[in-house]
Amino acid sequence: MIIKDLNQFSLNSEENKEAIANLSKNLFPSRKEEIWKYTPFKKFKKINFHNQENFKIKGLDTLNLPNLDGIVIVFENGRYNSKLSRIVETDEIDISFSSDIFPSNNFQTIKKNNYFTSLNSSFLTNSVLVNVNSNTKISKNLNFINIVSSDNCLSNTKFSIVLNDNSNINLRQYFLGNSSISNGFINHENNIYLNSSSSLSIDKFQDLNNNFNFCNEFITQKNDSKFIMNTFSCSGIIVRNDIISDVNGENCHTELNGVFSPTKNEHIDNHTTINHLVPNCKSFENYKGVLKENGVGVFNGKVIVHQDAQKIEAFQKNNNILIDQDSIIYSKPELEIYADDVKCSHGSTTGQFDDEALFYLRSRGLSIKKSLQLMTLGFINEVIQKTSNLEYVDFVLKRLLKE
């Protein structure tokens, strides 16, 4: 394994100033634009972002993350933190760091840039590229931890991964905001490329507390590949995920799942687009929203079946539970179908827990709080059980249920 170009990046201070000016001058995309309609940009107002190097995390163990026995890559305040990271050399995987954006010829067929991807590219501090060699199966998880630990710190980071033919890996991504700080902002981009017969599953965990996190994610799949992404969004002032997946090879399996549980005026925004460009593929989407105490959730899922992409099966589901007064959900499952021999469906439900079930649980001795927790667990179980590791499930559940 080679580690190359490991250097520190300093921002051009003039550009930096301009970026900060832009952020506070509200040069954001307008909320009149359909895809930004529900995102509360006003929460960015009056925040002066900076980007200074500042490592504060004392040790990996202070983060209390489950089973970090594989490779661990830690980014703190936008920069690679080599002290906390643990990279073991193997023949199976190459990891390199640079400030360059990932070679574009490999990537997205339909890459869509937006304000935040431009911001990311212009002020990128560190980027990591993982290359998984052909015919390998990595048994231990690859862990990517991206943490903001300074007030008002804006970190622009990029994670790219290429799975070569017939390779297989599980990735865990953590986006964390230190609970003792506020107004930090991780503006992240994931670039993911799956070659033939490769398989990648990502468990993405977002727990930002009083900080922001935007993730723009671009995925390309070649034939016979399998991609699963489970997104668990627990907290953050605004957490927004924009996933664009191009399925560009036949016999692919694409699966996007998620649980989001905003509370206390938090806003969690999930946007997904699955582009079925070729025939004979299947995609599944399942997002569950649990909203309470003024929490606001957005689900906007889009499946596009392009012309001649016949025999596509695409299923999209979004279920939401509003637990108490003033929680809000905006759900927008969309289908755009240009081929006729397809099976596509979507469903969206919003409601509350059944009173009768609540009474049943209470009559068995469960307090209201416990009953609600248990019902919430039941509600999100379908998605949670997609991850097989019990320790990880426990960890995620505790944060999602805010126990």
Partner 1 sequence: MSYTEKELKKELDNKSYEFGFVTDIESDKAPIGLNEDIVKLISSKKKEPQWLLNYRLKAFQIWKTMKEPDWAHVKYTKPDFQNISYYSAPKKKKELQSLDEVDPELLKTMEKLGISIEEQKKLSGVAVDFVMDSVSVATSFKDKLGELGIVFCSFSEAVQNHPELIKKYMGTVVPYTDNYYAALNSAVFSDGSFCYIPKGVRCPMELSTYFRINESGTGQFERTLLIADESSYVSYLEGCTAPSRDENQLHAAVVELIALDKAEIKYSTVQNWYPGDKNGKGGVYNFVTKRGICGYRSKISWTQVETGSAVTWKYPSCILKGDYSIGEFYSVAVTNNFQQADTGTKMIHIGKNTKSTIISKGISAGKSQNSYRGLVKIGKGAKNSRNFSQCDSLLMTDQCGAHTYPYIECENPTATVEHEATTSKIGEEQLFYCMQRGISEEKAISLIVNGYAKEVLNKLPMEFAVEAQKLLEISLEGSVG
Partner 2 sequence: MSDTLIEIKDLKCRIDNQNILQGLNLKINKGEVHAIMGPNGSGKSTLSSVLAGNDNYEITKGSITFLGEDITEMSPEERSWKGMFLAFQYPVEIPGVSNINFLRTALNERNKYFGIDSIPAKDFLKMVAEKSMLVGLDNKLKNRSVNEGFSGGEKKRNEIFQMAMLNPKLAILDETDSGLDIDALKIVANGVNKLKSSENATVVITHYQRLLDYIVPDFVHVLHEGKIIKTGDKSLALELEKKGYDWLKTDTAI
Q: Residues in the site for partner 1, rule: CB under 8 A? A: 34, 291, 307-308, 310, 320, 322-352
Cβ atoms < 10 Å from Cβ of 116: 20
Give the binding range for partner 2 (CB under 8 A) out of 13-21, 33-41, 334-342, 368-376.
368-376
Please enumerate in sequence order all residues whose Cβ is within 8 A of that of 187, keeping only pairs 6 or more positions apart, or say none.
Answer: 116, 119, 120, 154, 155, 156, 157, 212, 214
Closest contact distance (angstroms) between CB of 227 and partner 2 is: 25
Is the CB of 152 or the CB of 371 nearer to partner 1? 371
Length of the chain: 403
Q: Is residue 361 involved in binding partner 2 (CB under 8 A)?
A: yes
Is the CB of 69 or the CB of 326 nearer to partner 1? 326
- With CB under 8 A as the contact rule, the residue among 337, 366, 393, 401 that binds partner 2 is 366
**Contact present, 276 and 307 (Cβ < 8 Å):** no
Which helix (DSSP H) or strand (DSSP E) does residue 222 occupy? none
Return the one option of partner 2, partner 1, none that residue 377 interacts with (CB less than 5 to 8 A, by type): partner 2
Q: Is residue 403 involved in binding partner 2 (CB under 8 A)?
A: no
Q: Is residue 368 involved in binding partner 2 (CB under 8 A)?
A: yes
For 52-92, list the strands marked E by DSSP. 71-76, 79-80
Q: Give the Cα-Cα-Cα angle 99, 232, 356 (nearest 5 degrees).
A: 170
Q: Is residue 360 involved in binding partner 2 (CB under 8 A)?
A: yes
Among 277, 1, 279, residue whose Cα is nearest residue 132:
1
Is the CB of 24 or the CB of 294 nearer to partner 1? 294
- With CB under 8 A as the contact rule, the residue among 30, 367, 394, 398 that binds partner 2 is 367
Q: Is residue 323 involved in binding partner 2 (CB under 8 A)?
A: no
What 3-state class would DSSP assign to 282? strand
Q: What tokens appear for 1 in the block?
A: 């394994």
Is the CB of 249 or the CB of 289 nearer to partner 1? 289
Closest contact distance (angstroms) between CB of 141 and partner 2 is: 25
Q: Is residue 354 involved in binding partner 2 (CB under 8 A)?
A: yes
Residue 51 burial class via C-beta count within 10 angstroms: exposed 0-12, middle 13-18, buried 19 and up: buried
Distance, CA of 262 to chain centre = 15
Return the one option of partner 2, partner 1, none that residue 363 interacts with (CB less than 5 to 8 A, by type): partner 2
Is the CB of 13 or the CB of 363 nearer to partner 2? 363
Considering only residues 376 through 395, tell me which ones interact with partner 2, judged by CB under 8 A: 377-382
Closest contact distance (angstroms) between CB of 247 and partner 1 is: 17
Among 261, 197, 193, 186, residue whose Cα is nearest residue 231:
261
**Contact present, 176 and 204 (Cβ < 8 Å):** no
Give the binding range for partner 2 (CB under 8 A) out of 122-130, 164-172, 242-250, 354-362.
354-362
Return the one option of partner 2, partner 1, none that residue 366 interacts with (CB less than 5 to 8 A, by type): partner 2
Is the CB of 222 or the CB of 292 nearer to partner 1? 292
Is the CB of 25 or the CB of 362 nearer to partner 2? 362
d(CA 1, CA 373): 45
Among 357, 353, 362, 356, residue whose Cα is nearest residue 380:
353
Residues of this chain that bind partner 2 (CB under 8 A): 354-357, 359-368, 370-371, 374-375, 377-382
